[in-house]
Amino acid sequence: MEVTTEALKRCHVVRATGRIDSQTAPQLEEAFRALTREWHYKIVFDMSGVEFVSSAALRAMIDTQKTCKQRVDGELVLAGVPERIYETLELTGFVPLFKFFENTTEAVGSF
C-alpha cells in the first residue's frame, strides 16, 4: 500500500493505492492524522487505486470523518471508490456517512 497527500488551495487529497489491510491501515490513519493535527479538516480520499480495505481501514476513515465533522465545513469525502470497496461500505452501513464523487476533480470542487 502506498499513501500520498497533496495540498490544494481548498482542501487536501489523500491518495492510497493497493491493499489497506490490517497491517497497512495504520499508514492511512497516520496520513489522515497528519492533516487533522495541522487543522486541515477538508479532505478528499481518492480511493480509485485501492484494491482492498479491512475493518482497520474503515475505522481510520470513520475516526477521521468524526474529527473533520466537528469543524464547520470540515468533511472527509470519497472519490473514485471501486465497486468492490463500495460493496464493503454498503455491508457495514458506511454509505450514508460519506459523500461519494466519481473522481477527485469533482470531489475537490465540492469544497
Partner 1 sequence: MPMDEVKALTVVGRLDSLGLISEFVTRAAQDAGFDESAVYAVDMAVDEACANIIGHAYGGEGRGDIEISYRIDEDGLTVVLRDHGRAFDPTGVPHPDLDAPLEERGEGGLGLFLMRRLMDRVEYESRPGSGNILTLVKRHETTS
What residues make contact with partner 1 under the rule CB under 8 A? Answer: 19, 21-23, 52, 54-56, 58-59, 62-63, 65-66, 69, 84, 87-88, 91-93, 97
- How far, in Å, CA of 105 to CA of 89, rounded? 22
- How far, in Å, CA of 76 to CA of 95, rounded? 13
Q: Which is nearer to partner 1, 57 or 104 (CB)?
A: 57
Q: Which is nearer to partner 1, 20 or 104 (CB)?
A: 20
For residue 95, give the amino acid letter: V
Shortest Cβ distance from residue 33 to partner 1 (Å)? 16
Shortest Cβ distance from residue 49 to partner 1 (Å)? 16
Q: Which is nearer to partner 1, 85 or 104 (CB)?
A: 85
Q: Which is nearer to partner 1, 39 or 93 (CB)?
A: 93
Distances in Å between the Cα of 33 and the Cα atoms of 64, 91, 92, 101 are: 8, 26, 23, 22
